[in-house]
Amino acid sequence: MFDVIIIGAGPAGASAARILMKDKKVLLLDEYYRIGGRLIGQLYEENNGSIWNGYEKAETLSDDLHHPHLTVKLSTSVTDIQHFKEYYRINTTKGNFESKYLIVCTGAQELTPALPGATLPGVMTVGAAQVLTNVQRVAPGNKGAIVGVNVLSSAILSELHMANIEIKSMSIPYHNKINTEEAKPLSVFNSMLNVSHMAPNIFIKLGTKLLKAIPKIQPLAFKFLPRKGIKIFDTPVYFKKAVTSINGKEKVESITLKNVDKHGNIISNKEEIVPVDFVCLSGGLTPLAELLGLLNVSFIYIESLGGYIPLHNDVMETEVNNLYVAGNITGIEGAKVAMKQGEIAAYQILGSFEKVKETKNSLATERKQATIQFHNNINKGRESIQNYWELSLHKNR
């Protein structure tokens, strides 16, 4: 019997384990073969000019996770969770385990746009390209294209550029019944202002900073965007051209681009064929919360946090007794935020309330200074969750 079981050894779960293992008997589970989760492939420049190397951070976390109280089981999938009055039973591919407390840190999953040719060899998610490049040190191909213009794909464009991998274009997918918001050029353009500070050109940085400060002029600015795209890291980023298909017989050979209006509708049959040998798909991230469906957890849809979020309070507790959540399962943010959330959950379980307060303040600072924000109105989204929590408490009294 363990005191605490943590599902997910990414930044949130590993950070929680590092604190808890000193005083509690802890089991850390992850289906991947190494500790770090999405940290492993991250590599980007921060606001102060330093390089955030997620691989190194993951190695540091892994090196710290050695203690007689800690058991780590990697390459282990959770198949079922049962909640009894005083404990949880976790069924896995490597046995069944029980604990008083449970922290779920399963992170996020990638969404992908639907396109003809998306099943061809050479098509992958941007996250897969990130891991191949930054972790496995294998180029995904000689020249590629990114389909999906968002914060995640922009960050990985930067990483591929640093690895000297040629990306011929980054563009939205064409608008259809499945591709919705990610195929609306004006919406995509507005959302991309969250990563304007990453632009390699000072004029783009200043211009987009002004647009973010004055939202009313954003539609006008979009109108004057060149159809030939804006070059970032020598890659044209298209807001007025969409990918309509990925082409090839036995593997990826090219993509087809067509002109679209501000709503993403195709306005011309004129095609542009771009030769490439790999394609990265990106529809953003959404919380990976399926395991919580096995428990009596309420979910709230919060668009600014990336989708359906398990109801929780500001110390990461859910409505279910002794069940905590941390990291991207609570909303899509950066790894530093996830690490702080994991620490808060750990300190709350330990009853170290001064540490909880201190870490909450640190989390607020980190959120304010975050280099990458995946969605607009993160703080409003967090306030909404807290309001729902208060309402839930009121109803249950």
Mean of the per-residue pLDDT values for the chain? 86
C-alpha distances in angstroms, 164 versus 77, 201, 285?
36, 18, 25
Q: How confident is the model at residue 210 (pLDDT cuts 50, 70, 90)?
A: very low
- What value, to the nearest 5°, has the Cα angle with vertex 162 and ends 130 and 200? 115
Percent of the chain topping pLDDT 70:
83
Q: How far apart are the first and last CA of the chain?
A: 33
Residue by residue, DSSP assigns 196-228 as GGG-SSHHHHHHHHHHHH-GGGHHHHHHTS-TT
Element (H, E) at 14: helix 11-20
CA distance 44 to 152: 11
- Helix H segments across 49-138? 54-64, 126-134
The predicted pLDDT at position 216 comes to 55
- How buried is 238 (Cβ within 10 angstroms: 0-12 exposed, 13-18 middle, 19+ buried)? buried
Residue 207 half-sphere exposure toward CB, CA atoms < 13 A: 15
The predicted pLDDT at position 206 comes to 45
Average pLDDT of 369-384?
A: 80
Amino acid at 34: R
In sign, the C-alpha dihedral spanning 229, 46, 362, 152 is positive
Global pTM reads 0.85
Average pLDDT of 380-387?
A: 92
pLDDT tens digit sequence for 56-80: 888 888 899 999 999 999 999 999 9
- What value, to the nearest 5°, has the Cα angle with vertex 184 and ends 268 and 288? 135
User: Can you count the helices (H) and strands (E) in the chain?
Assistant: 10, 21
Closest CA to 173 of 148, 138, 142: 148
Mode of pairing for the β-strands spanning 70-73 and 254-260: unpaired
The predicted pLDDT at position 37 comes to 83
Question: Please, are residues 227 and 169 in contact by the beta-carbon 8 Å criterion?
Answer: no
Mode of pairing for the β-strands spanning 235-247 and 166-173: parallel
Q: How confident is the model at residue 174 (pLDDT cuts 50, 70, 90)?
A: confident
Average pLDDT of 271-282?
A: 95
